[in-house]
Amino acid sequence: MYGLKASLYSRADLSKDFGRYFVVACLNSVFMFAVYQLLYWWNLLDTYNAEFAWFVSFVIGTIEAHYVHRRVTFKSKARYGESLYWMFFVYTIIGILSTLTISGLIRTFEVQYQLAWVINNILFGLVYFAGLRLLAFPPEVDSEANEQPSD
């Protein structure tokens, strides 16, 4: 894994990246929520319907998000295979934890399923950003690519 070079990644860079991340994540969330809502309404499983809808929309949203975050949010020059590996690593952990969280919100705390979806996304939003920026699309890879003379 890469070592983070603080001198190459300033607070201004972090702010720009987070600003783009926030906008793209909001747009991705609209897409993911639409999939979640459709699956919930279709009620494909009588039990654990909200959890099923969350998990499937999470997987579909993850596939879409990787491409958009790679190209738009982080404008990453990291190798595709490596970024995909780390994205799956980050999203698998968050996918498991967030599915358990949404289940707890709905079943234990009786939070309405749409509100639980919003709470869940807010809880994990910063974790997504940190995992994606530091592991899947590390800033030092982009900096090193910019320092290399072009052929």
Question: What whole-number distance in Å separates Cα of residue 70 and Cα of residue 91?
Answer: 14
Confidence band of 140 (pLDDT split at 50, 70, 90): confident
Cβ atoms of 39 and 56 within 8 Å: the answer is: yes
- Read off the pLDDT of residues 90-131 as tens digits, 9 standing for 90 and up: 989 998 999 999 999 999 999 999 999 999 999 999 899 999
What is the identity of the amino acid at 149?
Answer: P
Nearest to 95 by CA among 66, 132, 57, 135: 57
For residues 136-149, b (16+ Cβ closer than 10 Å) or e, as one string?
bbbbbbbeeeeeee
Confidence at residue 150, expressed as pLDDT on a 0 to 100 scale:
43
Nearest to 130 by CA among 86, 68, 96, 97: 86
- Read off the pLDDT of residues 26-73 as tens digits, 9 standing for 90 and up: 999 999 999 999 999 999 888 899 999 999 999 999 889 888 999 999
List the chain domain ranges.
10-141
Q: Provide the residue count of the chain.
A: 151
Q: pTM for this structure?
A: 0.78
Confidence at residue 62, expressed as pLDDT on a 0 to 100 scale:
86
